[in-house]
Chains A and B, each alone.
Chain A
Amino acid sequence: MIKLENITKKYMDDSKDTIALDGLSLEIAEGEMVAVLGTSGCGKSTLLNILGGMDRPDSGKYFFDNEEVSSYRAIRLHNFRKKNIGFVYQNFSLLNRYTVYENMAIPLLARNQKNYRKKIMDCLEQLGIAEYANKFPQKLSGGQQQRCAIGRALMTDCRLMLCDEPTGALDSKTTIEIMGILCEENKHGKTIVIATHDSDVASNCTRLVKMSDGRILI
């Protein structure tokens, strides 16, 4: 499903180049649940951004279903993102000015889906936060916010879910609950890539990829 070949990505920080990804190559099969483990700044988020089409590699090739995504122009990249990718972030990336329901509706509006109320409510029910549908995210606990973020990613019917430190801001009990939800989704066939520095989280995954200084160790 995913094939990365010799991906390099540099950022300019304080007038010096920082190498985020240094000739990284990786393959991920459909239905895998991959944990990308590494310390802060090792390039995990950059890898997820490139996988999700939110950023482009400086060099190297990125194939998704044998199509070279790294050569896509903006509109095609947007369509790729819209069709295949769901994001979950450590800080939840919910819009605090919108209610939980409205946050869940955003990807559905972008995809012109009709009659989405039932779909959203079913999902919120499944995630156990249906009663908070009309509440604003800042009124919810971290775990509830992350459930909402996962729900929003699920709304996209994506094939690849990219989770950047999904449990980083959560306590251990909530972490177990969130990982349970993600494992459940993986069992239903969704490919999931989780960037984390928590080995307990990584142990829930079917495959472990260790990263350091923009390279894969294992």
Chain B
Amino acid sequence: MSKKNIIVVAIMDIMCQKIHFFLSMIIIGASLAIIGYFSLFSNISKLNRDECDKILTKGINGTGVMQVFSSSNSNSQKELIQNAYDSGIFEFVGVWEYAINAFPLPNELLQTRRSNMGYAADATPWVYVQKSVFGLHNIKFSQRINNTDENWNNPNRFGIYLGANYNGIPVGTTYVVDRYGESVEFEVLGIIKKGQMMMSSDVCAFGRADELTSLSILDDVIIMVYSGQPPLWVGTYSNGAYVAAGGHTLKEARDYLENRAKELDIDLESGYLSEGFRAEEIEENDLQRVDRELSGLIIVTCVLLCMCIICMEMLGNRRQYGIYYANGFSLKDLLEIQICQNIIRVLLPMIGAWFILSKYLEKLYDIPIFVGTEGSRSAMVASKMIEACSTYESGKLLAFWRNQTALPYMIIVGIALFILCTVIPVLIIGGKEPYELLKDTRG
């Protein structure tokens, strides 16, 4: 039988059993959509870890984190940090935190932000960083003033780095803002290259590494470089990260830091960034297990439902196949008709589910949630998705969803469905002699 005639008969057959056929298409489509949806959540922590790992100079395993709590003797804290620098064991001790309302923003920058980000502009923080954080995160600049030493000595003069979306502002622009009756100057020291990311300070705060909002895209962010003599600045709950230097190991660096803190009677917590992520993974495990089990349940249910529908359909129509046999169809023809029908039955719902989910995710990005916002993770799936979307560059998350989660999951299930739904019914029919399918004609 020619391929054209196979398609003609397959379509005739579909049109004759529209309800069954479209019901199975809806079940397959809905199941694939749910599988695609859950696949993102099952892998979001992997994305989180991979992305964080990518931006760090020495990766997650090569980075230590510390948190210094304020104490009555701030000098001893300064001494601790100074000692750490002087020891030669440490490098890139970056300190950073969000300082949303700590400083008044120049009006011009506020307006630019509003035009860049719409009504979400108010949520954009200043990120208050020590200069070495740039090195820790491999942050690259499209423009930059090299000599900024003068900024460090003037408490009323701050250096600022602007995200890529402020690239209309020339480097060297100075803003003057009134603060407590004093004029404070902000000088644009550089424009950050597009798409640069920085890890949230929360990741370094122990026990909070489970935030999905662990990475911030810096395109809309204003980074204020810490003013004052580097590297010493210790505030309440200051978070920092360190890498080992001078051929020392991270463990040696950590031991030194802890011992010195003990000697100076400083309340300090230190550890490895990898511990935080491990804690995140352990915490995520339960949620992922539920996701996996739910996805698995949906897959099995979907396969069984479709199998039942198709097998019942084939068995219910066995007289029809007997008539096909009697009129010159072969088992191969029947198999090809079934393949043709199942391509439509599986492929169309897969494309449909893909399209709807993609649109849904894209729509979520339109929700003006601040990029890199902080907030606790909700167990609610929707909240989680919104948080996840708010964390990453939309294109990156979509690409991750498409290429690493939804695509393989949906294709594997789709192929499994296709094979099972094609082969099993044909085996049922093929296992019988043609006359058996027309039993009611036996005399």
Q: Which residues of A contact B (CB under 8 A)?
A: 40-46, 49, 52-56, 74-75, 78-79, 81-82, 87, 89-91, 93-95, 97-98, 102, 106-107, 109-112, 152, 156, 164-165, 195
Question: In the assembly, what is the distance between CA of A156 and CA of B325, in Å?
Answer: 13
B6 nearest CB across to chain A (Å): 9
- On chain B, the residues within 8 Å of A89 by CB distance are 438, 441
The answer to whether B328 and A164 touch across the interface, beta carbons within 8 angstroms, is no
Across the interface, A54 reaches (CB within 8 A) one of B319, B330, B434, B440, namely B434
> Which of A45, A49, A55, A165 has the most chain B CB within a 10 Å cutoff?
A49
Question: In the assembly, what is the distance between CA of A8 and CA of B218, in Å?
Answer: 86
- On chain B, the residues within 8 Å of A82 by CB distance are 328, 330
Within 8 A of A (CB), among B318-346: 319-320, 322-333
Across the interface, B328 reaches (CB within 8 A) one of A75, A102, A156, namely A156
- On chain B, the residues within 8 Å of A95 by CB distance are 16, 320, 323
The answer to whether A81 and B433 touch across the interface, beta carbons within 8 angstroms, is no
A55 and chain B: residue at smallest CB distance: B435
> Which of A40, A52, A93, A165 has the most chain B CB within a 10 Å cutoff?
A93
* Given A97-B17, A110-B329, A90:B5 Cβ within 8 A: no
The answer to whether B433 and A54 touch across the interface, beta carbons within 8 angstroms, is yes
Across the interface, A90 reaches (CB within 8 A) one of B328, B435, B441, namely B441
Across the interface, B327 reaches (CB within 8 A) one of A53, A110, A112, namely A110
The answer to whether B442 and A112 touch across the interface, beta carbons within 8 angstroms, is no
> Is B2 interfacial (CB-CB < 8 Å)?
yes
Question: In the assembly, what is the distance between CA of A41 and CA of B443, in Å?
Answer: 5
Question: In the assembly, what is the distance between CA of A87 and CA of B327, in Å?
Answer: 8
Question: In the assembly, what is the distance between CA of A90 and CA of B442, in Å?
Answer: 10
A106 and chain B: residue at smallest CB distance: B327
Across the interface, B326 reaches (CB within 8 A) one of A45, A93, A98, namely A93
Question: In the assembly, what is the distance between CA of A14 and CA of B173, in Å?
Answer: 98
> Is B8 interfacial (CB-CB < 8 Å)?
yes
* Given A89-B438, A98-B16, A110-B5, A54:B326 Cβ within 8 A: yes
> What mask results when residues 11 to 40 of chain B are scored 1 for a CB within 8 Å of chain A, else 0?
010001100000000000000000000000
A102 and chain B: residue at smallest CB distance: B12
The answer to whether A44 and B324 touch across the interface, beta carbons within 8 angstroms, is no
A123 nearest CB across to chain B (Å): 14
> Which of A79, A97, A156 has the most chain B CB within a 10 Å cutoff?
A97
The answer to whether A45 and B443 touch across the interface, beta carbons within 8 angstroms, is yes
Task: Show 21 residue pairs from A and B whose CB-CB distance is below 8 angstroms, ordered by the A residue.
Answer: A46-B442, A49-B442, A53-B434, A54-B325, A54-B434, A55-B435, A78-B325, A81-B326, A81-B328, A82-B328, A87-B326, A93-B322, A93-B438, A93-B441, A95-B323, A106-B324, A109-B1, A109-B9, A110-B5, A110-B333, A156-B327
The answer to whether A42 and B443 touch across the interface, beta carbons within 8 angstroms, is yes
Nearest 8 CB-CB pairings of A with B: A45-B443, A110-B328, A97-B16, A82-B328, A54-B435, A55-B435, A107-B327, A78-B330
B4 nearest CB across to chain A (Å): 9
> Which of A43, A46, A87, A94 has the most chain B CB within a 10 Å cutoff?
A87
The answer to whether A56 and B330 touch across the interface, beta carbons within 8 angstroms, is no
Question: In the assembly, what is the distance between CA of A156 and CA of B327, in Å?
Answer: 8
Within 8 A of A (CB), among B402-443: 433-435, 438, 440-443
The answer to whether B2 and A112 touch across the interface, beta carbons within 8 angstroms, is yes
The answer to whether B443 and A165 touch across the interface, beta carbons within 8 angstroms, is yes
- On chain B, the residues within 8 Å of A79 by CB distance are 330
B326 nearest CB across to chain A (Å): 5
Question: In the assembly, what is the distance between CA of A74 and CA of B324, in Å?
Answer: 15
- On chain A, the residues within 8 Å of B327 by CB distance are 87, 106-107, 110, 152, 156
- On chain A, the residues within 8 Å of B330 by CB distance are 75, 78-79, 82
- On chain A, the residues within 8 Å of B2 by CB distance are 112
Question: In the assembly, what is the distance between CA of A53 and CA of B9, in Å?
Answer: 23
Within 8 A of A (CB), among B171-215: none
The answer to whether B1 and A112 touch across the interface, beta carbons within 8 angstroms, is yes
- On chain A, the residues within 8 Å of B5 by CB distance are 109-110, 112
The answer to whether A45 and B328 touch across the interface, beta carbons within 8 angstroms, is no
B13 and chain A: residue at smallest CB distance: A97
A86 nearest CB across to chain B (Å): 9
The answer to whether A45 and B324 touch across the interface, beta carbons within 8 angstroms, is no
> Which of B322, B329, B433, B443 has the most chain A CB within a 10 Å cutoff?
B443
A105 nearest CB across to chain B (Å): 9
- On chain B, the residues within 8 Å of A49 by CB distance are 435, 442
The answer to whether A107 and B441 touch across the interface, beta carbons within 8 angstroms, is no
Question: In the assembly, what is the distance between CA of A56 and CA of B435, in Å?
Answer: 10
B332 and chain A: residue at smallest CB distance: A75
Within 8 A of A (CB), among B87-104: none
Question: In the assembly, what is the distance between CA of A98 and CA of B15, in Å?
Answer: 10
Question: In the assembly, what is the distance between CA of A56 and CA of B433, in Å?
Answer: 8
- On chain A, the residues within 8 Å of B443 by CB distance are 40-46, 164-165, 195
- On chain B, the residues within 8 Å of A42 by CB distance are 443
- On chain B, the residues within 8 Å of A41 by CB distance are 443
> What mask results when residues 161 to 179 of chain B are scored 1 for a CB within 8 Å of chain A, else 0?
0000000000000000000
B318 nearest CB across to chain A (Å): 12
- On chain B, the residues within 8 Å of A195 by CB distance are 443
B6 and chain A: residue at smallest CB distance: A109
Across the interface, A93 reaches (CB within 8 A) one of B8, B12, B323, B331, namely B323
- On chain A, the residues within 8 Å of B17 by CB distance are 97
B329 and chain A: residue at smallest CB distance: A110
The answer to whether A74 and B331 touch across the interface, beta carbons within 8 angstroms, is yes
Q: A78-B331, A82-B328 are in contact. List 7 more A-B contacts (CB 8 A).
A: A54-B326, A78-B330, A102-B12, A106-B323, A109-B8, A152-B327, A156-B327
Question: In the assembly, what is the distance between CA of A164 and CA of B326, in Å?
Answer: 13
Question: In the assembly, what is the distance between CA of A48 and CA of B3, in Å?
Answer: 31
A140 nearest CB across to chain B (Å): 17
> What mask results when residues 77 to 121 of chain B are scored 1 for a CB within 8 Å of chain A, else 0?
000000000000000000000000000000000000000000000
